[in-house]
Chain A
Amino acid sequence: MRSQILLTIKFFSEQDTINVLFIACVLTLGIILKFLFSAAATEDLLFVLSPVNSLVEVFTSSHSEYLIDEGYLYADLNVVIDKSCAGINFLILCFCITTFSVAQYYKQSVQWILIPVCFVLAYVLTIGVNSCRIISAITLLNAQENFPWITSPWVHEAQGSIFYLTFLIGTFLLIKFIHRKPALKNEDSA
């Protein structure tokens, strides 16, 4: 096993082709994004919240009202989608994971171009995954009359974690699958 990349990065790569500067840059970018979004207000996160809200509206057939400083309020569902629901944690994790997973299959000169590409990919995935997470959480809330414990914070946390984890691992495996080595048959014939 030759891959000796920094702690977590080690687990992503099968080949030893990611340079240190690239790793440092992506990690720094991730940390900066985390700090930046932690300090952001709900208004600053509308670029993620707004599309998520539209999807939730469509799937739940309800209408939301945007309240300044509060976020999107679904009066009929008694639900609020605000800054804490934006999916920023997923965006950052997804961005880092996709970048590291994809980068190892490309030359070092190409790796830098992958950063914006992976960010866009992570953004699109975030919209989808976060919408799914919220829609399923709302569905779960409907069962609270029979199962009151469903509203407890740990259930919500667990449900969100399962969603995020499933999609993160799925994305990771999908990238591996797409970049899998050519079949032996082809190699032989070549």
Chain B
Amino acid sequence: MKTLLNPRWLIFINTIPIVILFSLFLGTYEVIESLLSEKNLEVWFNFAGALGLLWFATLSYCVYSIIKNRKIEVLYGLLTLLTYIPLTYLYWVFGNDLIPWDVPRWMLPEDFQLYPPTFLMPTLAHGLFVLMINLTKENQKPWISFGIAILIPVCWYVFLMILLPMWQPLDYRFSHHVISILLIAGTVVFLFFLGRGVYIIFQNRKSHFLENPVVALTVKVVIGLVLPVLGLHVNEYYFDHQFFGDFSSFWFFAIAAVNGILICIPEPENKNVRLILFLLRGVTFSYVIYFFFVFLPYLPLSVIAIIAIGAGFLMLTPIVLFILQCQTLNDDMKFLFQHFSKKIVVAGFAIALSVLPLILTAVYYSDRIALYTALDHVYEGNLEQDDEQVSSQSLRRVLGAVEQHRSRSNNARQIPFLSSYYNWLVLDNLTLSQDKTKLLEKIFYGNVKSDEPTQDRDGVTVTGFDLQKVSVSSTFDTEQQAWISQIDFEIKNKNLFIAEFATTFNLPQGAWINDYYLTIEGEKVPGILAEKKAATWIYQQIRDYRRDPGIMYYLEGNKIAFRIFPFAGSQIRTAGLQIIHKGQIEFDFFGKHIVAGNNSSGETLKEIYSPDENTMYVPKNVKAYLPEIRRSPEYHFIVDCSKASEQQITSYTDRIKKYLTENKISATNANYVLTNSITKQVDDIADVSDLKEAISFEGGFFLERAIEKILYDAYYHPKPNYPVIVVVTDYWNDAIVTKGFADLSIALPESDLFFQLNNDSLIAHSLIKDPLQPYKGETVNYPVVAWPDKTRPQRYLRKNEEASIFTIANNKNDLVKSSKQGDWNSALALQGDWLNHKLHPENTDEDWLALVKASFKAHTMTPVTSFITVENEAQRQALLKKQEQVLNADNSLDIGNESRMSEPGFFLVLGLFLIALLVRKKIL
């Protein structure tokens, strides 16, 4: 214990934690600075100054003591408690000035309130130890200390029950402060005497009752085994994990029990057995250290807990156990140093200590691999290759773990530190939404009941608004031969209450948005082009706080969502966007028909290649001259092979055969795709046993993947036949389709429909909108043209009044470098890259970041970016921070297209250098 008087400890106990605390506060301060008033700023600076001053004073004292070779003195302990306790207390008192109520809580890191107690508590605890050690003489009686310690909660109880009700002070704030200060002082004195009692026992144990093996064993059993297990039990059954965290896992109990047993085992005389016991104790010591840090911030509350429910002693258990285990390990080391080399003992201990953290990391990492394999299959599956079966066993465990670590509500606590570590290691600090978790469960287990269909807020067009004025001004940019059209809207909320304006509109092919503004309090605020996920997250957060955001982003295909919030009752707001396009464009916006540019300039009579030569733009004028052709249908039967359909498979095959016969469809014109969580193509369905051999009936019916594969094949291998997709299932409501296929509609020019084979008849469904709902419109087969000619067609295009854009190659070019701001050709290249990205989701990791960056560079909105306006600097900072988090979500995305020659981390090199010096000095 006396080693705690070595001034070097101050570096680890005070200097480093306060530096970390400073950096955490600095990060928060940068985000919320613009929301703080002068008074708030003054409080911030006063606290920073006070903390900085204390830090510097402690560091100076530390350096002085090291140089002068002096131990930490009693005065240090006293001054530390007299300065840091008031500072912590004032932090609570001025909490509302540091973080005013009007600062949205989503801008702050989680557990922000706990930062100061967590990082200052080591200093306070150490200060108390210093006092305790310096003020304890040899051969003192521990019972006196314990007696005083017990007396304090008793006094408090008497005070609260008898004296306090009679006390009628003049000012309630006075009594509030007096009680708080008395409580803090009482806590410090209580902990001092309690700690001193324990210290005396351990100090005098050579000649003490602890030498009695029965008493020693009893103490060890109580502190090492009974209290930890009891504490975990109380936390689980009485607090319901609401206060300290969720320690309900079997492993917390198991390791507590094992650790208790290891502590209680009498020290063996055999050196090898003692070494093994020491190493095993080292393994579980990391568990004890973990709980020591978890409970350290709650140390001052132990007195309150003792007064209130008597369970406060359980809160002290991790700290007492930590001391006990340190002492035990110290004894083991002293013994082992006599028999083994110091290096072996220390190295063995270091390895033992790292066992549990390493196992935990390995388990978490395997969760990450299982989760990412499943996510890759669903979101980044290779449409060309056959799917590989994903192990559903490990995934089930991961989804359970993700659910456990998810912040469910403010009341439920996660596992302290470990949940943050899990979220960082497994989820890259992002969250896996419940929708995604459910989707994974549905795809891989197929037994999740479908929710009631919720209204899709994205695609909503609201009523109660009036588009009062639309003005369009177009100028022709001769340099790039394209129109730049500025469209301004004046929108009125006809309601008498606050409402959100939301609409969607379809932008014509070859037109892109490259600027956006919203008027906020009379000022035109330009839109920030941001990564889509980050922007929609921020919009949601700001909307909840009723501030002034506006957002615009792609839904599917060329459909764009446009939302503004809030609109006060009868308020008129203006917004505008800039579109870049080739010829004249026409589209509908909130019931008004908008025409921009004209055909006298811009629209060319020949195809345009994008600068990277990956993408082709075929204007409607060119399509008009292309030869029209009629292709014959080729049927693709998607057969449901999910767990639920195992019994129905014979009925499905009979239904298909009957349909083929009745409609005189040749077998050569029919293809079969067996689908559950994966897809498998087979040539024939005549023998059901063959089908059962080809695919095992498990998981859900991932229809979306099967359709994507058919569209992929149709896009890359255009044939004289066009695909007709027919789905065969009795469980239509359990089919999994999360989105429309508008982005891939270029692959199926003849039709926007697919069909469900219902006994004898076909029920049509739209590929573009709500694919799972029956299509109520007319079934149309559009005329198509062959490009570039009829004899060697490379692509079939729908013959209509719109241009067509498709890819002709997927060469890896530096899109970021070649993109130019506000350039139509760059926008065309971006569109082609997006289409390539949709067709090759397996390359998402490499392509996505480049696509986002290129979109920023070209200042053109794409399906991966979004235009957002925010009200103030704080929101902008929050957006940029979230965006950075999203862009760095995957390590492989950090690198981008080019390799960065980044230098190694500062602390890594410093640490290695210090280790090298320690080795040189033969300290290690």
Task: Flag B876-902 by CB within 8 Å of A: 1 or 0 each.
Answer: 000000000000000100110111111
A157 / chain B contacts, CB cutoff of 8 Å: 904-905, 908
CB–CB A134/B66 < 8 A: no
B8 / chain A contacts, CB cutoff of 8 Å: 7
Given A92-B906, A164-B909, A80–B901 Cβ distance below 8 Å?
A: yes
Q: How far is the CA of A188 from the CA of B899 in the complex (A)?
A: 59
- Describe A's contact surface by its main secondary structure: helix
Given A7-B8, A24-B60, A133–B921 Cβ distance below 8 Å?
A: no
B920 / chain A contacts, CB cutoff of 8 Å: 11
- Interface stretch (choices A83-91, A102-110, A111-119, A178-186): A83-91
Given A6-B66, A7-B8, A87–B916 Cβ distance below 8 Å?
A: no
A93 / chain B contacts, CB cutoff of 8 Å: 906, 909-910, 913
Chain B min CB distance to A99 (Å)? 14
Q: How far is the CA of A73 from the CA of B11 in the complex (A)?
A: 42
Closest to A160 in B: B904
Chain B min CB distance to A144 (Å)? 9
Q: How far is the CA of A127 from the CA of B891 in the complex (A)?
A: 29
B905 / chain A contacts, CB cutoff of 8 Å: 89, 157
A63 within 8 A of B: no
Chain B min CB distance to A172 (Å)? 8
CB–CB B898/A78 < 8 A: yes
CB–CB B901/A85 < 8 A: yes
Given A80-B901, A84-B900, A93-B913, A4–B906 Cβ distance below 8 Å?
A: no
Q: In the complex, which residues 63-81 of chain B have their Cβ closer than 8 Å to any Cβ of chain A?
A: 63-64, 66-69
B914 within 8 A of A: yes
Chain A CB within 10 Å — which of B895, B903, B910 has the most? B903
Task: Flag A159-172 by CB within 8 Å of B: 1 or 0 each.
Answer: 01100110011001
B809 within 8 A of A: no
B185 within 8 A of A: no
CB–CB A79/B898 < 8 A: yes
Q: How far is the CA of A160 from the CA of B902 in the complex (A)?
A: 8
A8 / chain B contacts, CB cutoff of 8 Å: 914, 917
Closest to A140 in B: B899
CB–CB A165/B11 < 8 A: no
Task: Pick the residue among A23, A79, A87 that contacts B63 (CB under 8 A).
Answer: A23
Chain B min CB distance to A35 (Å)? 9
CB–CB A161/B897 < 8 A: no
CB–CB A5/B894 < 8 A: no
CB–CB B903/A85 < 8 A: yes
CB–CB B64/A20 < 8 A: yes
B914 / chain A contacts, CB cutoff of 8 Å: 8, 11
A5 / chain B contacts, CB cutoff of 8 Å: 66-67
A88 / chain B contacts, CB cutoff of 8 Å: 903
A89 / chain B contacts, CB cutoff of 8 Å: 903-906, 909
CB–CB B899/A87 < 8 A: no
Q: How far is the CA of A141 from the CA of B895 in the complex (A)?
A: 13
B903 / chain A contacts, CB cutoff of 8 Å: 84-90, 130, 133, 160, 164
Closest to B814 in A: A75
Q: How far is the CA of A134 from the CA of B900 in the complex (A)?
A: 10
CB–CB A78/B895 < 8 A: no
A151 within 8 A of B: yes
A97 within 8 A of B: yes
Closest to A20 in B: B63
B912 within 8 A of A: yes
CB–CB A153/B901 < 8 A: no
Given A137-B901, A160-B903, A11–B908 Cβ distance below 8 Å?
A: no
CB–CB A79/B901 < 8 A: yes
B902 / chain A contacts, CB cutoff of 8 Å: 84-85, 156, 160
B918 within 8 A of A: yes
B906 / chain A contacts, CB cutoff of 8 Å: 34, 89, 92-93
Q: How far is the CA of A113 from the CA of B186 in the complex (A)?
A: 53
Chain A min CB distance to B258 (Å)? 34
CB–CB A153/B66 < 8 A: no
B897 / chain A contacts, CB cutoff of 8 Å: 78
Q: How far is the CA of A178 from the CA of B11 in the complex (A)?
A: 32
Task: Flag A28-67 by CB within 8 Å of B: 1 or 0 each.
Answer: 0000001000000000000000000000000000000000
A122 within 8 A of B: no
Q: How far is the CA of A133 from the CA of B898 in the complex (A)?
A: 17
Q: In the complex, which residues 131-151 of chain A have their Cβ closer than 8 Å to any Cβ of chain B?
A: 133-134, 137-138, 141, 151
Chain B min CB distance to A25 (Å)? 12
Q: How far is the CA of A80 from the CA of B446 in the complex (A)?
A: 47
Q: How far is the CA of A7 from the CA of B923 in the complex (A)?
A: 13
Q: How far is the CA of A7 from the CA of B62 in the complex (A)?
A: 10
Chain A CB within 10 Å — which of B895, B906, B920 has the most? B906
Q: How far is the CA of A89 from the CA of B67 in the complex (A)?
A: 28
Closest to A31 in B: B19
Chain A min CB distance to B158 (Å)? 48
Q: In the complex, which residues 345-374 of chain B have their Cβ closer than 8 Å to any Cβ of chain A?
A: none
CB–CB B899/A151 < 8 A: yes
Chain A min CB distance to B6 (Å)? 11
Q: How far is the CA of A153 from the CA of B912 in the complex (A)?
A: 18
Closest to A164 in B: B909
B913 / chain A contacts, CB cutoff of 8 Å: 93, 97, 165, 168-169
CB–CB B895/A153 < 8 A: yes
Q: How far is the CA of A169 from the CA of B904 in the complex (A)?
A: 16
Q: How far is the CA of A134 from the CA of B914 in the complex (A)?
A: 24
A20 / chain B contacts, CB cutoff of 8 Å: 60, 63-64, 67
CB–CB A161/B908 < 8 A: yes
Q: How far is the CA of A89 from the CA of B902 in the complex (A)?
A: 11
Q: In the complex, which residues 800-846 of chain B have their Cβ closer than 8 Å to any Cβ of chain A?
A: 814, 817
A34 / chain B contacts, CB cutoff of 8 Å: 906
Given A4-B69, A11-B917, A153-B894, A165–B912 Cβ distance below 8 Å?
A: yes
Q: In the complex, which residues 1-45 of chain B have their Cβ closer than 8 Å to any Cβ of chain A?
A: 8, 11
A87 / chain B contacts, CB cutoff of 8 Å: 903
Chain A min CB distance to B820 (Å)? 13
Q: In the complex, which residues 752-771 of chain B have their Cβ closer than 8 Å to any Cβ of chain A?
A: none
B917 / chain A contacts, CB cutoff of 8 Å: 8, 11-12, 172
Q: How far is the CA of A153 from the CA of B814 in the complex (A)?
A: 21
Q: How far is the CA of A138 from the CA of B901 in the complex (A)?
A: 8
Closest to A8 in B: B914
Q: How far is the CA of A88 from the CA of B902 in the complex (A)?
A: 11
* Other A-B pairs beyond A153-B891, A156-B901, 13, CB < 8 Å: A4-B67, A8-B917, A11-B920, A20-B67, A73-B898, A78-B899, A79-B898, A86-B903, A89-B905, A93-B909, A156-B902, A161-B909, A165-B916
**4 closest pairs, A vs B, by CB?**
A160-B904, A84-B902, A85-B901, A89-B906
Pick 15 A–B contacts, CB within 8 A, sort by A: A5-B66, A6-B66, A10-B66, A73-B817, A79-B901, A80-B901, A81-B901, A90-B903, A137-B899, A138-B901, A157-B908, A160-B903, A168-B909, A169-B916, A172-B917
